[in-house]
A and B are shown apart, each in its own frame.
Chain A
Amino acid sequence: MSFIKFENVSFNYQHQKLLLSELELSIDSNSFTAVTGPNGSGKTTLGKLAMGILKPLSGKVLLEGRDISTMSLGKVGSKIGYLFQNPEVQIFANTVIDDLGFVMRIKNIEENEINKKIDTVLDFLNISDLRNSNTFNLSYGEKQRLAIAGILINEPQFLILDEPTTGLDIGRKKMLSALIEKLLAAGKGLMIISHDHKFINNFSGKVLKISGGKIYE
């Protein structure tokens, strides 16, 4: 059974023409998929449909065989992590540790356990030195890492990253590349939305191209 499945999915934004039409797509839980296409072709929209953030006009999106529109965002978030095109929208607290811990704190999880999880994630992303930093003053690349940390702390099986290379210099891109390899090695699946062909070609997997409302492999 495929992890994410699009069945005959069409989508348009309100009062606009059809953006994606009758898409069929099937993605495995530990595969690598790249999504490319020109600006405005609907890449971000495809990612948001896969997360259940947007609802299809017709057709169905299935997550592990279940209709994603019947699942809460919280439930989807525990299975798929989503990095927004602008990571700043998903950083909530003033300090790095609070940002990674506040959800667990609201849920009354034990402080020991929270700290253990935070340490593990910070270590995995090589940003342990940012532990007590103020989030407002982080560099763009650091913010992106923190946003990914916030995603990984939920231990999702799959990640969707929307344009993760914009705003990164060559060194930071290399670090991101290494991180993606590390995630794949850990058995996670990834979908990367990007028009940075050079970056995408670092990885082996499917490359999907969106154009004119259709998907080409």
Chain B
Amino acid sequence: MSKFSIEADIRSKLAVVLGFSTIAVFIQHIYVLSFILIISIAAALLFGANILKAIKTTRNLWYLFFIIVILQSIFSRSGQALLAINGFPLITAGGVLKGGEFLMRVSVIVFSATIISTSNSREVVQGLVQLKIPYDIAFMVSVAIRFLPLLRSEIKDTFTAIQLRGLDLKKIPLKRRIRVYLYIFNPVVAGAIRKARGLSIAMEMRAFRAYRKRTSFLKLRLSAADYFIMVFTLIFTSAVFVMFYYFNFPAGII
């Protein structure tokens, strides 16, 4: 595919993700969140991330988010009642707003995180190391990223396998279904432990951590574009905060 995308250092990508996520976490304002959401989608596309694929791979996560949104809309009651039962306000404007804010916040984090997925795991590790993060931690991050797809296909097989045993997940009453999920949990956890064990043996054999200081062949260098991206992100993020807290823009809506 010869789609246009910005080639950037992993460190400038991290800066972008960090900037956007910080805004999303600290500023709980629906206008700001919508604005950042649009910006982060645009940025992800500019860096060449595949957003549709990211949504698909995090599908189960989104179900969970929606459940949280619904719970949040029900439990935080303020403002005008949109749905009331016997005069008791069940869903309120304030609750829906809270739910919407939550959904936007996690969307910003997930979408901007897809920017990182445009670098390979070796680059991510090296980027973290050059940011003075201990190699052990950087390495673990990369391992987690690399093993996730494998784990996912195994989890899928496990779900299939338990149904082939004769358990129709849709037809089992809820109480027993929880028991079934506990059984699914078992091979998933066992698989993860086995992989971790295998990996740690392989690492010991290759003398991981035998020397305190590791040298590396790959050295990442920042280009002019990277400096621009980082400075721009810093200014942009600060600007949003200053506008919001100092100039009180945009003003509250409730």
Contact = CB atoms under 8 A, between A and B. Distances in A.
Interface of A: 51, 53, 72-74, 76-78, 81-82, 84, 86, 88-94, 102-103, 106-107, 136, 150, 154
Given A84-B157, A106-B172, 11 more contacts: A74-B163, A88-B154, A88-B191, A89-B157, A90-B187, A92-B158, A92-B165, A92-B186, A92-B187, A94-B186, A106-B179
A91 B189 CA distance: 12
B66 to A, nearest CB: 23
B interface: dominant SS:
helix
Contacts of B186: 91-94
B13 to A, nearest CB: 24
Contacts of A82: 161, 164
A86 B153 CA distance: 11
Interface residues of B, number: 23
Residue with the greatest number of chain A CB neighbours at <10 A, chosen from B154, B160, B164, B191? B164
A96 to B, nearest CB: 13
A84 to B, nearest CB: 6
A74 B160 contact: no
B155 to A, nearest CB: 8
A89 B164 contact: no
A97 B171 CA distance: 25
Given A94-B186, A102-B183, A106-B180, A89 B165 contact: no
27 contacts: A73-B160, A73-B163, A74-B165, A74-B167, A74-B168, A76-B164, A77-B163, A77-B164, A81-B164, A82-B161, A88-B187, A88-B194, A89-B154, A90-B157, A90-B158, A90-B162, A90-B165, A90-B187, A91-B186, A91-B190, A92-B162, A92-B186, A92-B187, A94-B186, A103-B167, A107-B166, A154-B166
